[in-house]
């Protein structure tokens, strides 16, 4: 049964539990048939209220900060595969206590912290992020392989070889990419770093594998990983997708607060904000899908959509709707769970959307509501 939006409070993020489970089942199938380990990337999806469900299918999570590593330990009930462009010295020992793997972004960082890792009471495996030299990401803001990228050691930097204490290699250059892109990345990766694969213990293929999107070639992904593991049977292969877990699993419910018309342009002002609640629509940028609406069509009611913040650019260009909008009408943004809730802000002090789960029995479970204290307490 589809989500019943009529009785959902606005604004509200709503996760469809059945859709989430469907994605996790597919990811688990890839895991089993390919032999890879798949872990969840918190930077794409960190809704910890559903981690008890997630951990039935995935073996852990990746973290990029002390808070994410602690969240993994406390809520995913596993130690994190941790990577950061640079670690804060005062946080490092605590990060280690929550980590099973720790990956460095530079040889200098690895050399700085290796003794602290080796003297840690827990055996934490050290890895190095490398730049495989190829990416299909066209938006430079999201391209880790852009010229001069700060992310990942280049092959030229390893002219003296890979340090003996490094046990794994990590690359991450995809973003909502097809499996064909992974094939090309691996070709470049092996060309540059293949000479080290005989002695390391694991390779992390990073995220961006959008295996749950309709049309994704899942069989090619499985076959590609299998062939890689046949060449290097001693290696553990790790994937860490974020979007794939939560892809198309839920919505952002909003409502119309006002309709203004200026110089022939009608704007429906909503109780949500694109800059505060859907920042990727402006950063990526991308045009979100809306139930009952589409691109401007002659003869249909057409509106620009305005956010409730005071930022001039907090809007989306025109959509045409199936019927006229009125104050109080619901506007439902689709696919708003991955890379959305994790990036929201309390800019302007505007009301942050609640977070809810549409359960398998078609009931609504509101798991989080926000108020003044959430705005106040992150400031000073």
pLDDT of the residue at 138: 80
Helical ranges in 35-87 per DSSP H:
51-54, 66-71
Would you say domain 250-336+344-377 falls under CATH 2.40.37.10?
yes
Helix, strand, or coil (residue 306): strand
Residue 367 has what pLDDT?
97
- pLDDT value at residue 284: 87
Residue 37: name the closest of 63, 69, 70, 60 by CA: 60
Topology (CATH) of 17-245: TIM Barrel (3.20.20)
Sequence-separated (6 or more) residues with CB below 8 Å from residue 371: none
Calculate what percentage of the chain has a pLDDT beyond 70.
100
Mean pLDDT for the stretch of residues 66-93: 98
What is the rounded distance in angstroms from the CA atom of residue 245 to the CA atom of residue 236? 21
Binding residues: 280
Averaged pLDDT, 107-117: 98
Residue set of the binding site for substrate: 280
Above 80 in pLDDT, residue 146? no
Token code pair at residue 7: 């009785």
Average pLDDT value for residue range 40-57:
97
Q: Which of 40, 2, 1, 7 is nearest to 365 (CA)?
A: 7
Q: Tell me the average pLDDT of the chain.
A: 96
pLDDT in tens, 301-353: 999 999 999 999 999 999 999 999 999 999 999 999 999 999 999 999 999 99
CB 246, CB 44: distance < 8 Å = yes
Placement of tokens 């959430």 in the chain: 374
Model confidence band, residue 1 (pLDDT cutoffs 50, 70, 90): low
Q: Where are the domains of the chain?
A: 17-245, 250-336+344-377
Query: Phi and psi at residue 259, in whole multiples of 5°?
Result: -130, 120
- Tokens representing 279? 């920042």
Q: What was the pLDDT predicted at 144?
A: 83
**pLDDT digit string (tens) for 357-378?**
999 999 999 999 999 999 999 9
- For CA atoms 218, 219, 220, 225, the dihedral sign is positive
Over range 7-12, report the average pLDDT.
95
């Amino acid at each position: 049964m589809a989500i019943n939006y009529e009785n959902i409070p606005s604004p509200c993020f709503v996760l469809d539990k059945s859709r989430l489970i469907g994605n996790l089942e597919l990811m688990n199938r890839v895991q089993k048939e390919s032999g890879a380990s798949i872990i969840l990337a918190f930077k794409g999806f960190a809704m910890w209220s559903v981690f008890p469900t997630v951990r039935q299918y995935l073996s852990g999570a990746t973290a990029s900060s002390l808070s994410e590593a602690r969240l993994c330990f406390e809520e995913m009930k596993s130690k994190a595969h941790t990577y950061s462009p640079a670690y804060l010295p005062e946080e490092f020992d605590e990060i280690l206590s929550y980590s099973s793997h720790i990956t460095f972004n530079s040889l200098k960082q690895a050399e700085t912290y290796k003794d602290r890792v080796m003297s840690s009471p827990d055996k934490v495996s050290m890895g190095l992020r490398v730049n495989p030299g190829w990416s299909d990401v066209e938006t430079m803001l999201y391209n880790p392989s852009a010229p001069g990228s700060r992310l990942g050691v280049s092959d030229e930097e390893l002219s003296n070889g890979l340090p003996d204490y490094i046990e794994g290699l990590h690359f991450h250059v995809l973003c909502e990419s097809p499996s064909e892109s992974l094939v090309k990345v691996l070709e470049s990766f092996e060309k540059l770093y293949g000479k080290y694969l005989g002695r390391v213990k694991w390779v992390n293929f990073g995220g961006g594998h959008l295996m749950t999107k309709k049309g994704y070639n899942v069989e090619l992904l499985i076959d590609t990983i299998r062939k890689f593991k046949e060449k290097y049977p001693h290696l553990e292969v790790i994937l860490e997708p974020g979007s794939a877990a939560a892809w198309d699993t839920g919505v952002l419910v909003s409502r119309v607060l006002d309709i203004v018309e200026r110089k022939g342009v009608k704007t429906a002002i909503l109780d949500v904000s694109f800059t505060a609640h859907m920042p990727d629509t402006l950063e990526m940028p991308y045009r979100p899908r809306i139930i009952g609406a589409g691109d401007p069509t002659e003869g249909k009611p057409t509106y620009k959509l305005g956010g409730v913040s005071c930022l001039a650019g907090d809007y989306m260009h025109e959509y045409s709707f199936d019927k006229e909008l009125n104050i109080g009408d619901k506007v439902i943004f689709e696919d708003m769970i991955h890379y959305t809730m994790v990036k929201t802000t309390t800019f302007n002090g505007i009301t942050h959307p609640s977070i809810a789960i549409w359960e398998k029995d078609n009931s609504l479970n509101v798991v989080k509501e926000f108020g003044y204290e959430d705005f106040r307490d992150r400031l000073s």
